[in-house]
Amino acid sequence: MDSLAKLLLQCAILTAFLVNSPLTKVEGSFDESTSLPEFTALVDWIRSHEGGFVDDRLAVLSIPLDNSNSTFYRGVFTTGVVHPGERLCYIPWATIIGPRGFRPEFDAPLVDTAFHLSHELKYGETSPFAPYLKVIGQQQITNPSSWSLSGRALFQQMIGDVLPPHHFDRHVEWFVQHYGMNSDLMKAFFWVSNRAMQADTGNQWLLVPLVDQYNHHSDDGKVNTARFASRGNGFEVIATKFVQAGSELYTKYWGDYTHFFFEEFGFVEEYPQRWEFDLRHVGGSVLEVRLSPIQNATNPKQFHLEWFTDTPDIASMDIMKRELIRLQEFERVYLKDLDSYHSVPKTEKDLILGYHRALMTALDQVVVAASAGERSEEEECIAEMAVTCLGESRRKLSP
């Protein structure tokens, strides 16, 4: 690869890092004034049931993601030091919304739990689950399948036919096919599909108060809690690591890939991120990588890329480079003027932007890593042409 092509690629990568850096929580923002009052009532309700336990050190907080105080991040924190093996909470079965046989003939556990939630929502303040329902009603459902038609259309245009997640709207399509446009049940179904967790015994999906506020982290070194569930006996969270006062408590959700978490739960996970690009339907191969930030690097946005599949073939790299250019074009045409898309709710715009940033970074890293690998003379020639084209395209697309 000649020096010009290398320079163009390096500039493209650096631009993506500077423009597309993810939001980070403001240091020192832990403050009791940010605690959420509705969770005080929820904790009291949990404790009022036999066996219900919530450690006094736990607090559900809403903290700013940046200095503008316009975007907030919610999570479970500890106000005191926590040691491995300590019990953090025990949620009795009587407070958990799960399958109760509302549709015993139906073999979809998510739907059974959704029927239960919908049933309780009709009772509102008179429901025995009222404190939990109040919390549920204040939080948004964020998985793409639940978005507005205009939001889903914009997201589909962004990912195209090649990039993941594929068939992200399958939940809403399946629901409409079986139940039509039942808005109350659909809302309950989306909430269950977005927030429910699976019990460790049997195929049950449960809405577990307080525990559903623990955020996911993909870094095993930062995951500091474990969750245990037993049918009819409740749900328990145990600390697995030493945790400093003021730190967030993390768990690990089921699933492996960054695009899977976005599709199912509606968030872009923090690094490390694992991606699978299945390009077989467009003439390529399956590429699977993990991106981990390099600690103590001069450039804080440097990553270590680990391959879980063979180094990409020429066809796959050509596809990835085309997709990288297409995402840059999408950013120029759509993302720079998101405010003009009045039919797309702001939350959906923010999520699309965040996923676009993560996807751009992943593709950038795959392209630069594969281009740096050993190639035949023919492969190197093709790679140089593609990278030069990428640089030229980005210059043309710049405003």
Of the two residues 199 and 270, the one the predictor is more confident about is 270
Model confidence at 103, pLDDT cuts 50, 70, 90, reads: low
Rounded mean pLDDT, 308-314: 89
Rounded mean pLDDT, 157-186: 88
Cα 241 from Cα 115, distance rounded (Å): 37
Q: What is residue 181's predicted lDDT score, i.e. its pLDDT?
A: 80
Model confidence at 132, pLDDT cuts 50, 70, 90, reads: very high
Cα 291 from Cα 381, distance rounded (Å): 27
Q: How big is the CA angle at 380 (ends 374 and 381), to the nearest 5 degrees? A: 175
Residue-averaged pLDDT of the chain: 80
Of the two residues 241 and 112, the one the predictor is more confident about is 241
The CA distances from residue 318 to 11, 251, 274, 287, 363, in Å, are 19, 38, 21, 13, 12
Centre a 10 Å sphere on the Cβ of residue 28 and count the other Cβ atoms it contains: 8
pTM for the model: 0.78
The top-scoring range by mean pLDDT among 70-84, 144-158, 188-202, 327-341 is: 144-158
Share of the chain above pLDDT 70, in %: 76
Rounded mean pLDDT, 12-30: 34
pLDDT digits (tens, 9 = 90+) for 245-257: 999 999 988 778 9
pLDDT > 50? residue 382: no
Q: What is residue 336's predicted lDDT score, i.e. its pLDDT?
A: 76
Alpha helix segments (H runs only) across the chain: 3-19, 37-47, 109-123, 130-137, 149-159, 170-179, 183-195, 258-265, 314-333, 346-371, 377-397
Q: What is residue 229's predicted lDDT score, i.e. its pLDDT?
A: 74
Q: What is residue 3's predicted lDDT score, i.e. its pLDDT?
A: 38
Rounded mean pLDDT, 99-119: 75
User: Any idea which of 6-20, 175-189, 230-244 has the lowest mean pLDDT?
Assistant: 6-20
pLDDT digits (tens, 9 = 90+) for 34-63: 567 788 999 999 999 999 999 999 999 887
Model confidence at 91, pLDDT cuts 50, 70, 90, reads: very high
What's at 179, amino acid-wise?
Answer: Y
Model confidence at 218, pLDDT cuts 50, 70, 90, reads: confident
Model confidence at 299, pLDDT cuts 50, 70, 90, reads: low
pLDDT > 80? residue 172: yes
pLDDT digits (tens, 9 = 90+) for 317-332: 999 999 999 999 999 8
User: Any idea which of 93-97, 224-228, 285-289 has the lowest mean pLDDT?
Assistant: 224-228
- For residue 205, the cross-strand partners are 198
β-sheet with 225-230: strand ranges across: 53-54, 87-91, 234-239, 225-230
Kindly list the structural domains of the chain, giving each domain's residue range(s) and its CATH number in brackets, ordered by start: 3-22+270-397 (no CATH), 29-94+224-255 (2.170.270)
Of the two residues 187 and 378, the one the predictor is more confident about is 187
Of the two residues 361 and 374, the one the predictor is more confident about is 361
